[in-house]
Amino acid sequence: MRRTTVTLALEDPMLPLRLAIAFALLLSATACGGGDSSTPTSPSPTQSPTPTPTPTPTIVSSSVVIPVGAEFLGNRAFAPAELAIQTGTTVTWTNTDRDSHTTTSDGPGWNSGTISPGRGFSFTFQTPGTFPYHCSFHPGMVGRVVVAAAAAVPVTSAEQGRR
């Protein structure tokens, strides 16, 4: 049998350089994520604090209607004849009659001037108290607004509608 001699390539002067290059390529491929990954990785979401909502101010309003034929209705000429509200409430008087009217406070307060048919007048009550009023053109037309101090808890629109 013949013997074959295998000589190692250790005697190749370029071998260390080739190994260093191969190692450097392998290291850079691993560091850059060159491996085959079937599921992409994404950064996990960070939880940001939930902002506290700012409460919306409650705008409270109420309305009084001046009906057709109001000048003949006396203390029923304003509907409702007595309106109970809280401070800060805006009251709107709407004239549905064919004649012009006013809503005039019996004391210091407000005077709408002439409210033509189909028009209205609004006034915001800032202080508690009882406020009788009348129509300057038809003094028999009377009504009253009773204003209570605003409660600590806002009145809901459903509660306002029951008043």
Q: What pLDDT, in 10s, does the model give residues 85-98?
A: 999 999 999 999 99
**Does the structural domain 61-155 have CATH classification 2.60.40.420?**
yes
Q: Across residues 22-38, what is the average pLDDT?
A: 55
Most confident stretch, 22-26, 30-34, 137-141: 137-141
Contact criterion met (CB below 8 Å) for 155 and 86:
yes
| pLDDT at position 71 | 87
Task: Label the pairing between strands 61-66 and 89-95.
Answer: parallel
Q: What is the mean predicted confidence (pLDDT) over 147-157? A: 68
34-86: per-residue pLDDT in tens? 445 455 555 556 666 666 665 544 556 799 999 999 888 888 889 999 999 99
Residue 121 burial class via C-beta count within 10 angstroms: exposed 0-12, middle 13-18, buried 19 and up: buried
Which residue type is seen at 16? P
pLDDT value at residue 39: 53
- Look at residue 28 in the predicted model and tell me its pLDDT: 59
Contact 78, 141 (CB under 8 A): yes
User: Which of 112, 135, 136, 137 shows the shortest CA–CA distance to 122?
Assistant: 112
> CA-CA distance, 78 to 86, in Å (whole number)?
19
Task: Tell me the average pLDDT across 119-143.
Answer: 95
DSSP state of 26: H
Looking at the predicted structure, is the pLDDT value of residue 8 above 50?
no
Task: Indicate the range of 24-28, 121-125, 128-132 predicted with least confidence.
Answer: 24-28
Residue 99 pLDDT > 80, yes or no?
A: yes
Query: Looking at residue 55, what is its pLDDT?
Result: 52
Average pLDDT, the chain: 77
